[in-house]
Structure 1
Amino acid sequence: MTNDVQSQPSALEFTGHAGKLAGRRWPSVNPTWIALLCHGYGEHSGRYDAVAERLAADGAAVYALDHAGHGRSDGERVLITDFEDVVDDFARLEWTARAEHPGLPVVLIGHSMGGMIAARYAQRHPDELAAVVLSGPVLGSWAAVDALLGVAEIPDDPIDPQTLSRDPAVGEAYVNDELVWHGPFKRPTVRALATCLETINRSQPISVPALHLHGEDDQLVPAGPSVEAWARLGGRRSEEKLYPGARHEIFNETNKNEVLDDLLSFVRREVAPQG
């Protein structure tokens, strides 16, 4: 069942570990579930408008926030020293969503670094989630982290926009987005990424229904390590699908409708079956 009403986001504000956290909500008429969107490194929740609108049209009350040091939230740009603090920040978003929609099942959807955060969130708060979906997640290991930790000075190399999608308009919009970080990684953030991956690897598998989606041609976060890690972390109630030719941002790929169809089919089957 779909909701034909156009969803316009409204602003939210929280206090997080590094100051103000800027959030967004996209409403849905008579929602049947809650979607929490967890964005990736260097970007912000505003890049997920199209995803949120599709989810809202399918009956989700959608919520997202900009992580500390990202988008419109406070904090030194892209500086994260401990991802456990980011998980704590994200819990504030969940509390708000639950207060506004009591009793609805919650689905956590994380992309890239946000997929890593979502995996850790699911490990720490399994009783709070009905399901989790990871899009191109950083799991297991990330060669980029190992390489950056091995150099004396981190190069000032921005993310190559061509790695994001086969649609050139996605890369162009990314480059021109003033809320996106276009500078280098910061060493404390890289160390925190490595620590979080180690913590996830040695922690329990995800116990809630979980879906891993990844582009086979993802050169930014290659699918191989994530697929290998998913075999250990996904648990008994997990699924996985890879998309041939797709690059990193599968929600912005040329086959994005297929990806979102797969996501929503999973949600309907596992969380909010429609009569």
Structure 2
Amino acid sequence: MPSEITPKNFWGDMPEEEYYTSQGVRNTQSYFSTPHGKLFTQSFLPLDQPVKASVYMTHGYGSDTGWLFQKICINFASWGYAVFAADLLGHGRSDGLRCYMGDMEKIASASLSFFLHARRSESYSHLPAFLFGESMGGAATMLMYFQSEDAWTGLIFSAPLFVMPENMKPSKVRLFLYGMLFGLADTWATMPDNKMVGKAIKDPEKLKIIAGNPRRYTGPPRVGTMRELARVCEYIQANFARVTAPFLTCHGTSDGVTCPSSSRLLYEKASSRDKTLKLYEGMYHSLIQGEPDENANLVLKDVREWIDERVVRYGGSGGL
């Protein structure tokens, strides 16, 4: 288990509870046991307004639900949404070898077990419910959706990983050579590191803050992680037509980490009757955490308008 020593928070020395109150939310933190390992989980609930719906959020590769990712959670809670988030296995304060994603189905299933626990609880079972996934968390979110299609009112993706850029694809020769070691190399952190953080964050001050996250994984990608991400991307692309839920997918046209074609292909091939694609000219990968405030606020405005409209449109059923 990672050290439980609490680092200095990105917002400074203000006590956590006081900070969350200043943002109009109530935060809770706990651990949730799953068949695949224990997850660190958080909830962000609006303080002074009724809950309109629940949202279940998944972060990207090497990140966690704390630090700057929680700013997304806080925004949704301030709009009147109950937000639940879990560190993926192998990330943050959850169990697992750091950033080893050898079986994404199990990793998605672990987070899904927590999300469904909250979604089916007495407080939220009657309300609309949405899955939110950022970057690699978008791929994990799509796997969760495939495992529980009828549970969700809608899906929201921010720069999802459904198509691997050419410079990120693992070498077939390298994977073959590692494969000859009969799986012994699967956890080795020896794959090329393409400096993804620098390609994800446009605002230099926000890059400094994100780089200061003490729980961020900074080692080279593991063999099994890259093998599995390549497989999962192919699987998701082959199953886009299974997507029938309403969705919003957002991408920057200058994203150097995940291909904007991830969002385009989902929009083109999904069977959903209610689907929205937002492309942001010149924006990088991290649309909400890493862009200058005026850009991030534009994305947040679009996301808020989309989800508020779907709550009104589908709110009577608590789901589809």
CA deviations over 1:206-254 (Å, ceiling 9, x no partner): 1110111001110111213442343113633211011111101101222
The residue type equivalent to 1:8 in the other structure is R
State which drifts further: 200-209 or 139-148.
139-148
Q: Distance in 2 between matches of 1:155 and 1:123?
A: 29
Structure 2 residue corresponding to 1:135, chosen from 146, 152, 158: 158
> What TM-score, normalized to structure 1?
0.90
Q: Distance in 2 between matches of 1:166 and 1:12?
A: 33
- Equivalent residue, structure 1, for 2:11: none
Displacement of 1:19 in angstroms is: 2.0
For the residue of structure 1 that corresponds to 2:100, the secondary structure is: coil
- Equivalent residue, structure 2, for 1:200: 236
- Equivalent residue, structure 2, for 1:167: 203
State which drifts further: 63-72 or 6-15.
6-15
- Equivalent residue, structure 1, for 2:318: none
- Equivalent residue, structure 2, for 1:111: 134
Structure 2 residue corresponding to 1:224, chosen from 261, 265, 278: 261
Structure 2 residue corresponding to 1:263, chosen from 303, 311, 316: 303
State which drifts further: 231-240 or 204-213.
231-240
Q: 1:101 to 1:220 in 2, by over 3 A?
A: same
Q: Distance in 1 between matches of 2:98 and 2:229?
A: 15
- Equivalent residue, structure 2, for 1:39: 59
Q: 1:143 to 1:230 in 2, by over 3 A?
A: farther
For the residue of structure 2 that corresponds to 1:189, the secondary structure is: helix
Q: Distance in 2 between matches of 1:169 and 1:234?
A: 40
Which runs of 5 or more residues in structure 1 are unaligned?
none
Displacement of 1:156 in angstroms is: 5.4
- Equivalent residue, structure 1, for 2:38: 20
Q: Distance in 1 between matches of 2:64 and 2:159?
A: 16
The residue type equivalent to 1:202 in the other structure is A
Report 1:16-165 matches (<5 A): 16-28=34-46, 29-46=49-66, 47-98=68-119, 99=121, 100-151=123-174, 154-155=190-191, 157=193, 159-165=195-201
Structure 2 residue corresponding to 1:236, chosen from 255, 273, 293: 273
The residue type equivalent to 1:122 in the other structure is Y
For the residue of structure 2 that corresponds to 1:250, the secondary structure is: coil
The residue type equivalent to 1:86 in the other structure is I
Q: Distance in 1 between matches of 2:167 and 2:173?
A: 10
Asked if the contact 1:149/1:187 (under 8 Å) is kept, the reply is no
The residue type equivalent to 2:203 in the other structure is D
Structure showing greater radius of gyration is 2
> What TM-score, normalized to structure 2?
0.78
Q: Distance in 1 between matches of 2:209 and 2:172?
A: 30
Structure 1 residue runs of 4+, over 4 Å off?
none
Asked if the contact 1:159/1:182 (under 8 Å) is kept, the reply is no
Q: 1:33 to 1:225 in 2, by over 3 A?
A: closer
Displacement of 1:146 in angstroms is: 2.1
For the residue of structure 1 that corresponds to 2:69, the secondary structure is: helix
Q: Distance in 2 between matches of 1:179 and 1:127?
A: 34
Q: Distance in 1 between matches of 2:25 and 2:282?
A: 31
The residue type equivalent to 1:58 in the other structure is W
Q: 1:267 to 1:195 in 2, by over 3 A?
A: same
Q: 1:69 to 1:144 in 2, by over 3 A?
A: farther
Q: Report how many aligned residue pairs link the two structures.
A: 272
Asked if the contact 1:218/1:246 (under 8 Å) is kept, the reply is yes
Q: Distance in 1 between matches of 2:195 and 2:311?
A: 35
Which runs of 5 or more residues in structure 2 are unaligned?
1-21, 179-189, 316-320
